[in-house]
Structure 1
Amino acid sequence: MTAPSEPAVHVQPDERAERVDVLVVGAGLAGLHAATLLARARHRVVLAERRPTLTGTVRTTGIFVRRTLEDFDLPEEHLGPPIRRMMLYPPGLTGPVELVSSRDEYRVGDMGPLYVDAAREAEGAGVDLRLATRFRGRRGGVFHLEGPGGEVRIRARFVVGADGARSRVARELGLSRNTRLLMGAEEVFPDPDPGVEPTFHCVVDPRVAPGYLAWVLRDGEHVHVGTAGHATRFPRGLYSALRDFGARAPGLEGVPRPASVEKRAGPIPVGGVLPRIAAPEGLLVGDAAGAVSPLTAGGLDPCLRLSGHAAEVLDEALRTGRADALERYDGQALRARFRKRLLLRRGLDAVRTPEMASAALVALRTPPGRALARRILFSDGSFPLP
């Protein structure tokens, strides 16, 4: 099977401001999904992505939960084997809590090829995808980009910020910006044992993952070893914590670390959907909107669902000529549905010592604790759309 080719890079032919319906900034899953839906609705869409290739600089683990797999048509060939088993460990890595589902709960996507497939679908719908093109801001009602051929000026009726947790579009539009961030780092390499039982190993230990979890995910195709937490609370830094964890991580017994591994890292917003994610000139999707679970830090399901909602709202605004249609793209209303997970997030932030982490795992061994863990990790819920 031949490797998928990259979408072509388009260069602006002249210096005049080009008129389009929507400028989407950022070609992650959120931006690609929103752009594709808008193009299918017959709107003229430019999608600007600063990376020169969609297969490089992947930042997400790429975990898709069951509801996403049920509701979205993801290419089977780019998904790893189903995962039904989770192991939760205290700092000492003894006496883990084992949770096994009767359903396929998780699958890990091969994100580079997934992005390429989504980009092909977007271009097939009519999206004008421009790689190696940076968003430079807005001046005088014109959006300025920097592409391979120099400056590009676009006059768009609306702009969509799909440009990550530290969104420049949010700043340009005066919208809310993420302030509660975790930093994560991960190493990925081929799994040497294709017959291993697919398992998600999670360790609660504030020394290697302050305010979050360290993990090993093995599915027989790839091994993911990672950690995340509050950047200021890693005693020796994030990468030192990852190295320390990788040297003793569960699920890796007898598995050698290759000399060359894929490295991923980036910020993870965990403050919930931001209060103000729309303005008359445009809106935010994905990480830029804070559309990530405050507790589990899962963002792929929210990014797809919120992008669909954004495309519906923009389609209405474009068809009716009424910018006030964006008022129903309401971050405050969505945020209200995250209250329980925001409360649990504060609880996880409060786990500051190994003793506290061990006590939390003891509580999870009780019937109510196991029921809570199953409800969080094997949930039937998804992103709370209006």
Structure 2
Amino acid sequence: MLVVGAGLAGLHTARLLAGRELTVMVVDRRRSLAAGIRTTGIFVRRTLDDFDLPGHLLGPGVRDVLLYPPSRRAPVHLASDRDEYRVADMAAVYEHAHRAAEAAGVQVLLGVRYDGTAGGVVRLEGAEPVAARFVVGADGARSRVARDLGLDVNRRFLVGAELVHPIASGTTSPAFHCVLDPRVAPGYLGWVIDDGEHAHVGVAGHPEAMRSGVRHLLEQFAETAPGRAAPVGPVERRGGPIPVGGVLRRLACPGGLLVGDAAGAVSPLTAGGLDPCLRMSELAAAVTADYLRTGDEQVLRRYDGNALRARFRGRLLLRRLSTGIRSVAAAEAAVAFLRTGAGRAAAARIMFGDGSFPDMHPRLVGAAAPS
């Protein structure tokens, strides 16, 4: 079988499938997994608790979150007594996942582009065609695999851009700064997450509202971003589309299935995708292995996007509401609400809560009910 895309979702799924004694190949058009990184690399506490992540590749814990209005005055300060976030060296995390997949028996081909599938034969640019009984699409927010298999595709996006730079040791305290300002991040926010070693400065918003261009808005924001430390050394740029329409409804068919961004496995509200991609990959691997073993197409119904979407209707609603914050006055009012008792409780639940994405245990999902 073939996995298209060597991101975290693709490599994790491939390793799990190889562990179920399947023959697995992964292809990725990038020649280096350090190229084309699009994620900030924020792992939340729930992911850190539930998955065996390489701790030496994660930055120090972040416990403080500051939420700013457009004026940048009087931020709402949320503090946890636990490490809520750790920022990963994603190039090293991808390479770690690459090595783990190959150690499990996966063949990983870099610099090879997927060029379509028909009749069980997959065309590849940079390699000979391969016969594949099943194709896993882990090829990003605008998945070619999804289109070729006739599965659902993402239609609602944010577009984001980010600068990453090292900072001098001991000059800052780890913190996550979030700015609600429709002038630089319409429909979403600007952020600075500083773990005391690196700072990530970014903006994201709805593409149609970012008329001056995301790169221009990022540079404008970075000049005055709160908590921004003076850079030390080179600056890395990242960016790309972020699907925020929720998990897609039709995720699987007899020819294959989708994982990660290709499946819309990103929190509609926070736009976090690392936790969902790991959880959905575990379910995808279990369902795929059972289907290939039995040939029973009913098995694929366990990988049901409708059941997953029902778990976070509230976040889909909040995503629509956040889209409506189009003026500075509205953003100031939103942060003013967060200063109230109810507002602080809601913000803490979003920033520190455990319910951003449902559990993916294969025994439970088939009978999933709204919660």
Between the aligned partners of 1:167 and 1:201, the Cα distance in structure 2 is 32
Matched, 1:105 2:84: yes
Which one of 209, 226, 230 corresponds to residue 256 of structure 1? 230
TM-score, normalization: structure 1?
A: 0.91
Residue of structure 2 in register with 1:6 after alignment: none
Matched, 1:233 2:212: no
User: Are the counterparts in 2 of residues 280 and 324 from structure 1 also a CA contact under 8 Å?
Assistant: no
User: Are the counterparts in 1 of residues 17 and 24 from structure 2 also a CA contact under 8 Å?
Assistant: yes
Between the aligned partners of 2:59 and 2:320, the Cα distance in structure 1 is 32
Residue of structure 1 in register with 2:116 after alignment: 137
**2:128 aligns to what SS in structure 1?**
strand
Matches within 5 A, 1:42-61: 42-61=21-40
Which one of 43, 68, 72 corresponds to residue 89 of structure 1? 68
Between the aligned partners of 1:382 and 1:204, the Cα distance in structure 2 is 20
Greater CA drift, 267-276 or 329-338: 329-338
Between the aligned partners of 2:15 and 2:233, the Cα distance in structure 1 is 39
Matches within 5 A, 1:204-283: 204-252=180-228, 255-257=229-231, 260-283=234-257
Between the aligned partners of 2:233 and 2:323, the Cα distance in structure 1 is 34
Between the aligned partners of 1:85 and 1:256, the Cα distance in structure 2 is 20
Greater CA drift, 280-289 or 195-204: 195-204
Between the aligned partners of 1:380 and 1:181, the Cα distance in structure 2 is 24
Between the aligned partners of 2:232 and 2:175, the Cα distance in structure 1 is 20
**1:172 aligns to what SS in structure 2?**
helix
Residue of structure 2 in register with 1:319 after alignment: 293
Report the CA distance between 1:55 and its aligned residue: 1.4
How many residues in Structure 1 have an aligned counterpart in Structure 2? 360
Unpaired runs of at least 5, structure 1 = 1-21
User: Are the counterparts in 1 of residues 32 and 110 from structure 2 also a CA contact under 8 Å?
Assistant: yes
Which one of 275, 289, 303 corresponds to residue 329 of structure 1? 303
Residue of structure 2 in register with 1:159 after alignment: 135
CA deviation map 1:16-39 (0-9, x unaligned): xxxxxx210001000000000000
Q: Which amino acid aligns with 1:223?
A: A
CA deviation map 1:50-80 (0-9, x unaligned): 1001112211000000010001111111000
**1:355 aligns to what SS in structure 2?**
helix
Greater CA drift, 163-172 or 329-338: 329-338
Unpaired runs of at least 5, structure 2 = 366-371
Between the aligned partners of 2:256 and 2:343, the Cα distance in structure 1 is 43
Greater CA drift, 315-324 or 302-311: 315-324
**2:191 aligns to what SS in structure 1?**
strand
Matched, 1:120 2:99: yes
Matched, 1:65 2:44: yes
User: Are the counterparts in 1 of residues 167 and 230 from structure 2 also a CA contact under 8 Å?
Assistant: no
Stretches of 4+ aligned residues off by more than 4 angstroms: none
**1:345 aligns to what SS in structure 2?**
helix
Between the aligned partners of 1:67 and 1:355, the Cα distance in structure 2 is 34
Matched, 1:170 2:149: no
> Over the residues paired in the alignment, what is the CA RMSD in angstroms?
1.1
User: Are the counterparts in 2 of residues 67 and 382 from structure 1 also a CA contact under 8 Å?
Assistant: no
